[in-house]
A and B are shown apart, each in its own frame.
Chain A
């Protein structure tokens, strides 16, 4: 709009709709669409219960941007590289939508239809994103690859959410979500299969990385070639799974 790419005859501010800016960490994580990335990134409660969400929210733009940018904005912009989104998908988050015909909710994964394209119909808006409290013995993390550390767009991003068996070693359940390697954020079924039921050793991590690279459908663009993105996925899937594992063991 500011760059005059879009002609807007009328703009309605939602700033006074308090419900849209409400955040709750009481049991489930409930993020109103207009909750600011900074409010999530700097929340001790979110960091305690859903640290992987903080990993992503803390990477959006600069401090100034995080004071204005919203969780819903990062989602509705529907960039495959959105840093807030992969962790929430890996936590089985749901998107809550309101429109003229009432409200509905869908898995957050299904909210994304393509670059800049969401499941929102004409007249609908995203009101909030909710994620359950992770099961006992769970841990998750998100990392992205960027040439410079701040104010950059993910070349690849990986979120891993692991639940460990009662032995504290075997992976009971896993979610692996990949960013910037497909038209939307995607789950890697192959990476998840490689992890589930296995102890998290070098062989398992390598297999998970191969699985992520196989499921990715990256493009070559100014930021990286498709082949380089696949190689990065192997490294980052391993790296993120190790952080998730440490967090799960510490939980």
Chain B
């Protein structure tokens, strides 16, 4: 079928492309734009690993056509950190040990970032319901929830400081062999 021209913003950048009408937004950002942080888990809207923001709202990119994003603003996990500085959700998930294999984490970052923007002071129950559409097979969720709770509580997060990712001291040289 004839390709369709779309114009959108992805992580603040203008993008123009021609896509197959049946192409998923997931495949568009991964294969055409090279933004592979967005993951395909189930492909059927159950696991949340492919969550992106479409005009600020978290949606499954595996259930969204690329042509649906025509004229829209799309944010992927690559657009969350600003100038090399993690946002609080990212920092908290790292600092509280919320990531093990890591496959589900981009989806959690996108969902939790939107949820805490809209509900800055949720109860733990509301928080858990907010991320209930994101599945993690490793962590048992507890450390993810504890990390997000730290964001809610305004706890200081070292990784949100400028340079936190780049100014990491190198490990000492090993002693001579």
| A interface residues, Cβ below 8 angstroms from B | 2-3, 11, 13, 15, 38, 61-65, 67-68, 149-151
Contact = CB atoms under 8 A, between A and B. Distances in A.
9 contacts: A2-B43, A2-B44, A3-B44, A62-B132, A63-B114, A64-B60, A65-B133, A67-B54, A67-B59
A149 B129 contact: yes
A68 B64 contact: yes
A68 B130 contact: no
B51 to A, nearest CB: 6
B63 A68 contact: yes
A234 B148 CA distance: 39
Contacts of A68: 59-60, 63-64
A28 to B, nearest CB: 27
Nearest to B55: A67
B106 interface: no
A150 B67 CA distance: 30
Most buried by A among B45, B54, B68: B45
B133 A150 contact: yes
Most buried by B among A2, A65, A67: A67
Contacts, number: 50
Interface in B44-63: 44-46, 48, 51, 54, 57-60, 63
B51 A64 contact: yes
Interface of B: 21-22, 43-46, 48, 51, 54, 57-60, 63-64, 67-68, 111, 114-115, 129-130, 132-134
A218 B82 CA distance: 54
Nearest to A152: B132
Contacts of B134: 62
A65 B130 contact: no
A7 B114 CA distance: 36
Given A11-B21, A13-B67, A62 B59 contact: no
A64 B111 CA distance: 8
Given A62-B132, A63-B114, A65-B60, 10 more contacts: A61-B45, A62-B48, A62-B134, A63-B58, A63-B115, A63-B130, A64-B133, A65-B45, A150-B133, A151-B133
A64 B21 contact: no
A61 B22 CA distance: 23
B90 to A, nearest CB: 19
Nearest to A9: B1
A82 B115 CA distance: 25
A149 B132 CA distance: 9
Nearest to A36: B57
A109 B133 CA distance: 30
Nearest to A1: B22
Contacts of A11: 21-22
B131 to A, nearest CB: 8
Most buried by A among B44, B46, B67: B46
B76 to A, nearest CB: 14
A38 B134 CA distance: 17
Contact of A62 (B54, B57, B68, B133): B133
